[in-house]
């Protein structure tokens, strides 16, 4: 199967060539297999509908990922509108997990932290990270995915999710702290992480 075949209107071949990559892309951002499957399907259908539009502007993969990216951002925006969660910028209690009442780090919190770069070398890491992302409260997950995985600017995210920039910064901070903490916990409970 060649790129030419797929471009010449063999959309079933697109699915074989790019299905897994698109699925991984969606799954890493949504932590929800059913939603990821649906968005990948919509992406292929949209690609088919737009027919020859691709016409060598970029690689097939980049073109499809570009369509999927929009679908994911739409999905997150819609979810946040339809299923608003509590305002974690103001009500989250996780600060006490990390800091004592004088604002100092709780004993041993940062110096026992694992270096994510070392974790990356282990093949279980991707699953570990996915699991930690999935454990974030939904509202933190959404802002974190848009900011760190989709690399959107904070102004864009504020507009899309209708939050103030101050709230967004607080939420991103909480997401990062929790994620780092979760990764560390998983890492040290995994025998391979102990070296």
Partner 1 sequence: MLTCKEVSRLVSESLDHPLPVRRRVAVRLHLVMCNLCRSYRSQMLALRQVIRRYADADDPGLEGAQMPARVLDRIKRALQEQRDRPGEAPLEKP
Interface residues with partner 1 (CB under 8 A)? Answer: 8-9, 11-12, 15-16, 19-25, 27-29, 37, 40-41, 44-45, 48-52, 61, 65, 95, 98-99, 102-105, 109-111, 113, 115-117, 119-120, 123, 125-126, 129, 147-151, 154, 165, 168-170, 172-173, 176-177, 179-180, 183
CA atoms within 13 A on the CB side of 162: 10
Assign 80 to helix, strand or coil: helix
Beta strand spans in 18-73 (E):
none
Between 44 and 63, name the residue whose CB sits nearer to partner 1.
44
- Which residue matches tokens 């929790």? 178
Element (H, E) at 130: helix 125-135
Up-side HSE of residue 181: CA atoms within 13 Å toward CB? Answer: 17
For partner 1, which is the closer residue by CB, 39 or 80? 39
**Least distance from partner 1 to the Cβ atom of residue 50, Å:** 7
- Which is closer to partner 1, CB of 1 or CB of 82? 1
């Amino acid at each position: 199967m060649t790129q030419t075949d797929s471009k010449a209107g063999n959309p079933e071949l697109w699915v074989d060539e790019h299905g897994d990559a698109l699925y991984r892309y969606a799954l890493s951002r949504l932590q929800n297999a059913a939603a990821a499957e649906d968005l990948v399907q919509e992406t292929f259908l949209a690609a088919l509908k737009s027919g020859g539009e691709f016409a060598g502007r970029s690689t097939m993969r980049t073109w499809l990922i570009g369509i999927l990216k929009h679908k994911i951002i739409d999905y997150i925006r819609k979810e946040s509108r339809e299923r608003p969660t509590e305002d974690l910028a103001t009500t989250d209690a996780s600060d006490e997990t990390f800091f004592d009442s004088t604002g100092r780090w709780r004993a041993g919190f940062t110096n026992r932290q694992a270096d994510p770069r070392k974790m990356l070398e282990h093949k279980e890491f991707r699953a570990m990270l996915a699991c930690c992302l999935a454990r974030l409260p939904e509202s933190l997950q959404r802002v974190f995915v848009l900011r760190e995985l989709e690399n959107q600017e904070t102004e864009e995210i504020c507009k899309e999710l209708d939050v103030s920039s101050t709230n967004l910064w607080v939420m991103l901070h909480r997401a990062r702290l929790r994620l780092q903490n979760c990764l560390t916990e998983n890492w040290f409970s995994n025998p391979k992480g102990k070296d």
